[in-house]
Each structure stands twice: as structure tokens, then as C-alpha cells.
Amino acid sequence: MVGSMTTVDHLECSQTGERYEAGQLHNLSKAGFPLLVRYDLEKARQGWSRDWIANGPTSMWRYAPVLPVTKPTSIVSLGEGMTPLLRTQRLGEKIGAGNLWVKDDGVNPTGSFKARGLSCAVSMAKELGVTKLAIPSAGNAASALAAYAAAAGMEAHIYMPQDVPQANFIECKSFGAHVTLVDGLISDCAKIVAAKAPVEGWFDVSTLKEPYRIEGKKTMGYEIAEQMHWNLPDAILYPTGGGVGIIGMWKAFDEMEALGWIGARRPKMIAVQVEGCMPIVRAYEKGAERSEFFENASTVASGLRVPKPLGDFLILQAVRKSGGTALAVSDEEALDAGVELAASEGIFAAPEGAACVAAVPKLIASGVLTPDARIVIYNTGAGLKYLEAYSTRFPRLAGGESDKLGGLITPR
């Protein structure tokens, strides 16, 4: 089955289980919940072996039989996936974690994990005849959509908060996207897209409002398993905004077990948020199945500024079923941890991924994790996309060498 395409069977509502036909355009289910893609895993098991994966492409499309695209010509790829899984021994020694790893998705196209989901979503949109796409985004999803739409020859209509990182705005404009900056949060952007899409003929690829971004994101789980020789870690720390990565990885683990590739053991899935926007943490602590809208959300980690994730119930299910937890750190802790990671290991992580670094000592101190646990931190983006945030740690004209250098190079 090397190089063969999907074993997709049908779609189903994540809440009611109602079935939907594959090969058609879908947003939410009739009940208003995200749709999940289901595969004929017995067919895949009979014709596909994990030992053959190394012969596939060095991208997430090595897992094509459990991705939804039916025609190779539909795939829109910029080389996303198969990102490094790096042992971080020096950092681990400093923070008391003896077996610490970082999965670095900051090296993906457009500098973030969003490339995975948007590669899959744009590929399916192409296969189903879509020509105009729209998205509300806190930044990185917009950059990814703009890039993949450009690669596919499609229109991209993007709505982002006014204070989005400059890198995201410039990327989107460079890729030829139609960009509108909104005085508000991603939730405000989503309302505009929802209202305009039917009128303008756009297909809405908002987080979890179409079924295929999850499928691209789930390849994070397949890759961790493959890179760890099919022995899952004890814990995965994931920076949780929309939380599709947790949902996708949890789905991937179930699929891999059905394929006979892994056993029933699961990592503790740990949702990390920031104190300025922590709806999942509050819901977890209350024992609630759904989150409440987090008012006045504010954080330098723009990807975590999601006041109410659409898939909150799926995130919370994965966290609880795995014996994991949800916790928040401050912006300052995240940025300081990002600098510590960079200085110790040469990995310049986005503040979202850095928040997970800050969370590790807290989890060990509380006994949720042991010092010898095999821990994977998921870094979702490149620190270079957040220079405004990190600049608070390195003021350029604070005296000393910066001043001297400035004096030398200032034109007379």
C-alpha cells in the first residue's frame, strides 16, 4: 500500500455519532458539532504496515492511507510534517526532568504546526472543487492558509485581530491573501467570517468548522509514535488554544491501536494555557464538560488567545481519559522559559511552546509527573514569529554594549 491513497469510509458527528457521506463539502454537523473522519482501519491494517512508512515521503503524507485525500493530484504540500523530535538533556537537568524531549513544529512551512492542518484542508478543498477559502485566525493559521491557498491557486480571505504579530500580517499579504484586521479577538473575527462566507461564496475553514484540519494535525501523534519506535511517551504537553492538536493526537492513538501499531497505553495529555486566557483550565478544575467564554482574554502568546474553543469537550475528554491535567502559566514565565530553552538547546520556540517548558517544573513539583518520566513538549511555532513579544526580554537601548554598538553604526 506504499504510495496508495486513503481508506476513508465516512464522517461522523463528534457528539451524536450521526454519519455523513465522505467526498462532499461539510462544515459542522446538523447538531452543530465538529465532524470527525472515520476510516476502514481493518482494510488499512491488511494492506499497510508501519514498517513501510519509511519508504514514503518525508512529510506528513507518508500516512496517506489514514488521510482523507483520494487523489494524489489533489495534494497541496509544501513539505509539512516529519519535524524533529529532540532530546533536551541540558534543559532537562536544569528543570528536573531527566527524559525531556521537544517536538519542534516551528520548522514547518510558514513556521508553525498550522501547516499540517491547512495542507490537508486545502488539499480536500481542491479535491472538492472549492476556489475561495476564508478563515478567522490569531495569526499562524492565517499564514498557513495564505501559503497553501497560493500554492493551490485559490483565493484566501483572512480576518485577524488588529494586534496580530507583524510577521503573520506580512506573510499573509506576501502570499496574496485578502487581509482584514479586526478590532477584537479571534472570536470577533469568526463572527464576521460566519456572516460573510455564505454571501461571498467562501468555504469557511475555521478551526473544527470543517473536518480536515484535524486530520492534518493528527499526524503529530503518528510522528511521535514513529520517532519513538512505536512506544508512546509518558506525557505530552500541548499549548492549548483551539486544542485541535490534542484532539488530533488522541484520534491518532486510537487509529494506531486499531491498526495494531501500538497498545492500549496512552500518554498523559496535558493542556497548557496562559493565565490571561485559560478557559480549558477553568473547565477542568470545575469538572465541567464544556468551557465558558473567557472574558478580556489577553496574552503575548497569540495562538493561545482563544476565549472559547469549539472543541472544548473533545479536549477535556482526552485530558481526563488519559489521566492528564490542565494548567496555566504567566506570560512572563513563558517568555523566560523560551529564553532558557533557546540558551540551553538552540531551539527558539514560540511563546506557546515555551509555556509548556514553564509548566514542566510545576507538574513535577505537584507530583503529576515524576522526574524520570518520558515527557514530550510540543512546540507549535518558531520564536522568530514573535519578536515583539521576546523583545521585552532584550531591550536594545538599555545601556552597555547595545548603546556602544548603536553609537558606532549611527549615520553622522
Question: What is the average pLDDT across 319-324?
Answer: 98
Secondary structure (3-state) at 265: coil
* Cell digits of residue 33: 458539532
Q: Which domain, by its residues, includes 328?
A: 85-111+212-393
311 within some domain: yes
In this predicted structure, the answer to whether residue 366 has a pLDDT above a threshold of 90 is yes
Q: What pLDDT is recorded for position 138?
A: 84
4 within some domain: no
Q: Which residues contact 151 (CB under 8 A, 6 or more apart)?
A: 76, 78, 122
29 within some domain: no
Helix axes 244-259, 312-321, angle to 10 degrees: 50
Grade residue 5 by pLDDT with cuts at 50, 70 and 90.
confident
364 within some domain: yes
285 within some domain: yes
Yes or no: say if 382 and 106 are a contact pair by the CB < 8 Å rule.
yes
Secondary structure (3-state) at 38: strand
Grade residue 186 by pLDDT with cuts at 50, 70 and 90.
confident
Rounded CA-CA distance 95/361 in Å is 6
53 within some domain: no
6 within some domain: no
Residue that the C-alpha cell 485530558 belongs to? 319
Q: Which residues contact 74 (CB under 8 A, 6 or more apart)?
A: 123, 124, 126, 127
289 within some domain: yes
Provide the total of helices (H) and of strands (E) in the chain, helices listed first: 14, 13
CATH assignment at residue 242? 3.40.50.1100
- The model carries a pTM of 0.93
Grade residue 405 by pLDDT with cuts at 50, 70 and 90.
very low
Grade residue 403 by pLDDT with cuts at 50, 70 and 90.
very low
- How many domains does the chain contain in total? 1
In this predicted structure, the answer to whether residue 252 has a pLDDT above a threshold of 70 is yes
